[in-house]
Structures are given as C-alpha cells and as structure tokens.
Chains A and B, each alone.
Chain A
Amino acid sequence: MRAVLCSLCAVLAPAAPCLLRAWQLGAGVIRTLCMGLALLSVCKFTEKHECVTTENGVGTVGISNFAQEALGDVVYCSLLEVGTKLNKQDEFGALESVKAASELYSPLSGEVSEINEALAENPGLVSKFCYEDGWLIKMTLSNPSALDEIRS
C-alpha cells in the first residue's frame, strides 16, 4: 500500500491544491492524490505511519493518510519545542481525536527546527492535508543517509 502511495507521489505533476481523499478502510481504493511541488521528492514512511520528506538536509515530518484516517478528525495537537534534539523513535508529540490518541515518534535523528504553528489554532489541518499544510515538524537531520533505512 505504501509503495503504491509513494510511486503516485513521484508520478503526479503538481496540480491546483485539492483535498486528499481518504482511504476506504478495507476496500483498498486509492482515490485521487494531488501533491504540491515540494512533495515531488519521495515520501518515506515509518512503521508507525509517520511520513518524512527531505530537502537539503531538512526533513518535514507528518503522518500518513492511513494514520490520519484511522485517528479521525484531529482536535488536539501537542509538539515539542524548537531546538529539541531527537533520536530516531523518540516521542516528539501527540495527536488526539474525539475517540483516540496517538503519540508521534521521530522517524530520524536530528533537531527540531520548526513546528507547524497553524496546528495550535486548527489541528484539523492534519486530517485534511496531512501531506501539505498538515505537516507537524521540520528537523535538521544529523544523518541524512539514514533516510535510506526507512522504506519508501
């Protein structure tokens, strides 16, 4: 599933912004996926469904569409502060919906360089645009080649 998702990322040309469509749980139907220019680079996914794209040694971390769909509408988001040093798999925050809560684990080692302030006012961005405006943190990577260890 994830492999197909990422090959679609690479193939689709940037288009006018459009809503990500949800997975049908169990039906495996992939609806239209449109990605912004920045995400033409390959998304990598961890086993816990964090998703990271990198550019010039900076990783942008979000959660996969599968994860946001399973979580439901995100109503609360907490993230560690800028400057926090993270090791791979360290907890860097949490997302909560009405019915569920999920901790967030860093896919790579590095330092948090930016957090998505828009989520404080509008945590629902994670649900609607998990690959675009719903990004969670940006981090400077301590080991850019470690990206290869994460599957595409």
Chain B
Amino acid sequence: MQRAVSVVAHLGFRLQAFSPDLYRPLSFAQDVLRRTPLYDFHLVHGGKMVAFAGWSLPVQYRDSHTDSHLHTRQHCSLFDVSHMLQTKICGSDRVKLMESLVVGDIAELRPNQDKVRELQNQGRDVGLEVLDNALLALQGPTAAQVLQAGVADDLRKLPFMTSAVMEVFGVSGCRVTRCGYTGEDGVEISVPAAGAVHLATALLENPEVKLAGLAARDSLRLEAGLCLYGTDIDEHTTPVEGSLSWTLGKRRRAAMDFPGAKVIVPQLKGKVQRRRVGLMCEGAPMRAHSPILNMEGTMIGTVTSGCPSPSLKKNVAMGYVPCEYSRPGTKLMVEVRRKQQMAVVSKMPFVPTNYYTLK
C-alpha cells in the first residue's frame, strides 16, 4: 500500500471556490461546461445539473438534500468527483516537483505545468500527464462492505490515507484510496473513463448505496470541519491561520524549503493574527459573510461557511477570529438577519469522524 498522492487532497485544499452563488441552472452556455464521464448517467438517475467550477455536476438527485446527507452518515453514498482531475507525475525528480509546490491546489493544471517546465529547464527529470480517469467517492459506514464485494484485496488492510491498485467490479486498473471528504469511512476510486459508468452502475446495485451530489457534499464536509478552498481558505490564508499546521511535515518545517516558509514558520513558533474556528448556534443559520462579534458587540471576524447541520439539528459554521477568542467554549455573537445571536466557539469536527485507522 502506498501513501497516496491524494494525501494533498486530504489536507483540505480541494478544487475551486464553491458557494450557492456559483450555481446556475444550465439553461445556456452548456457547451462551455466540461462534462465528466458520468454526465449521461447523472441525467438518467435524475441528477439536477448545475455549473460548478467550469463543470456540469449534479447538485442533487431525486432525494432531498437532507435525506441524501443523512443516508451518507447511516449507509453510504456515491459521489462523482471527477472534476478533480488526476495527474500522473513521473521522472526521478518527481518528489522534488511535488515538494516545490505549495501544499495546495495541485488539481489546477497551469501552475503545475509551469513548475514542470521550470524544473525541466533546470535539467530535472520530471513529466506530467493528466489521466483520462473518473473519480468516484463512496462514503459512509457501509462503504467498505459494499466495495469488498467487488474487490479481491482485503480492505481491512487498507487503512485511512493509503491506496492500492486493484480490479473493482471487473474494471481493472483502478486506484482505490481510503480517503474522502465527508468525515465518514470510505474510498475514492480513480477509474479509467471507459469503465466509469460500469463501475458506478455496479456500486449502485447494492441497496446500501445512493447517489449524492454537491449539496450533500457541502453539508457533510462542513459537519466534518473540512475546508472548502476559495471560501474557508485561499491564497491569503496560511496553514497556521487555517488551523491546518498539521499538514506541515516536521522535516519541511526545519528545512523551510516550501513557498511561504518565511512567513509560515515564524507563525508556528509565535503568534498568528487570526485562526479558523468552529461555531455553533441556535436560531437562524449562520452563513458565509455573517459578521462575528465579541460580547461587547464589536465585530472581530467573519463566518466563511455555515449551514444548518442535518445531523445535529443545530447551526454550524466556520470563521476567522483573533487568537484570543479562539478557545472552544468562548461565547461570541454572530449577526444573522440583522439580529445578534449567541454563538459558541466549538471544536471541529462537529460530528465525530469515522476514519478507518489501524490502532
């Protein structure tokens, strides 16, 4: 089992900004949007397609958002995440290439190609190829059991954040990684495009599995305390501010050999201006851009993501506050609908995670 390249994906730096404002019904300009290998499959299964980050993807299917979300926590759901392109990086200097990149948006092609060219110009041996693969995420407590029926490998030996290549439900050359973005146990399966529909169909044959779209994906990741790139973190946030210091390897911190090290490493040792925290409240839901206030009524920060939690039946959110307000249990206020509501800083994940680790 190898440490997956998609460890970067786990670090919270997923593709592109995502907010309800980016949804638009596909009434025009359909030829401008990219389609995954499962586009027709989504339509056949009642997928409601929206434009998302330049792709046509289903926001939900026939089930309601809430039902789809809860099904993932209780059974398992299948998501098409093929918009996150998979890239094969080769050459004896491939590790140098990876380490020269900001821990971030590796799915975005142009910066990678520039970096590849830069290293090649220096005489390094490195190449990059985007694979013609779909990416299917199967997430939920019964995901492993569902998948086991279609693979020969013993999935009990594939813990969280490891990966292996195997035949899945008759499709060879699939890379299965024990990871995901919902907080549940599950896998992401990189499957050659030609086998994507067959694999999705085979998985869906198990009554445990239901299709889920972008809407459920967003509320699930928020309950799990996972960031959405472009809203909760962006090129202006450091890993320390984002409460993501754990992503920085010990050796890299000491070597200071990554972009931004001069700013980031001092933050690790000393103070940082603001931190990303979890918030919970009753009453009206907190949403992105809601102001966060201290008990005196002074604005101290902003919510970056928020929604009513289908699992907890309370409102959850993430936002940035100065360090002195970041301790769990700190009482704050959030302005929602022109009213100030009591909120409390909460540990994340809001819903306990169920990653399959070997202890």
Q: Which residues of A contact B (CB under 8 A)?
A: 25-26, 72-73, 75-76, 78, 94, 96-101
Contacts and interface: CB of A to CB of B under 8 A. Distances in A.
Contacts of B218: 99
Interface in B1-59: 20, 48
9 contacts: A72-B65, A73-B64, A75-B66, A76-B308, A96-B308, A97-B308, A98-B66, A99-B219, A101-B287
A148 B65 CA distance: 37
Nearest to A96: B285
B271 interface: no
Given A25-B48, A101-B285, A78 B69 contact: no
Given A26-B48, A73-B66, A76-B285, 8 more contacts: A72-B65, A72-B66, A96-B285, A97-B65, A98-B66, A98-B69, A99-B65, A99-B307
A75 B67 CA distance: 13
A23 to B, nearest CB: 12
A72 B219 contact: no
Given A72-B65, A73-B64, A78-B284, A98 B310 contact: yes
A98 B285 CA distance: 9
B55 to A, nearest CB: 18
Nearest to A124: B66
Interface string B191-215: 0000000000000000000000001
B250 interface: no
Interface string B283-326: 11101000000000000000000011010000000000000000
The majority secondary structure among interface residues of chain B is mixed
Contact of A98 (B48, B284, B307, B337): B307
B203 to A, nearest CB: 25
A98 B20 contact: no
Nearest to B48: A25
Contact of B65 (A25, A76, A96, A98): A98
A75 B65 CA distance: 11
A98 B215 contact: yes
B287 A99 contact: no
Contacts of B66: 72-73, 75, 98
Interface string B89-133: 000000000000000000000000000000000000000000000
B65 A73 contact: yes
A99 B20 contact: yes
A26 B49 CA distance: 11
A97 B283 CA distance: 13
B20 A100 contact: yes
B63 to A, nearest CB: 10
B337 A78 contact: yes
B284 A96 contact: yes
B36 to A, nearest CB: 20
Contacts of B284: 76, 78, 94, 96
B15 to A, nearest CB: 19
A100 B50 CA distance: 15
A75 B308 contact: yes
A73 B284 CA distance: 15
Nearest to A99: B215
B306 to A, nearest CB: 11
Contacts of B308: 75-76, 96-98
Contacts of A99: 20, 65, 215, 218-219, 307
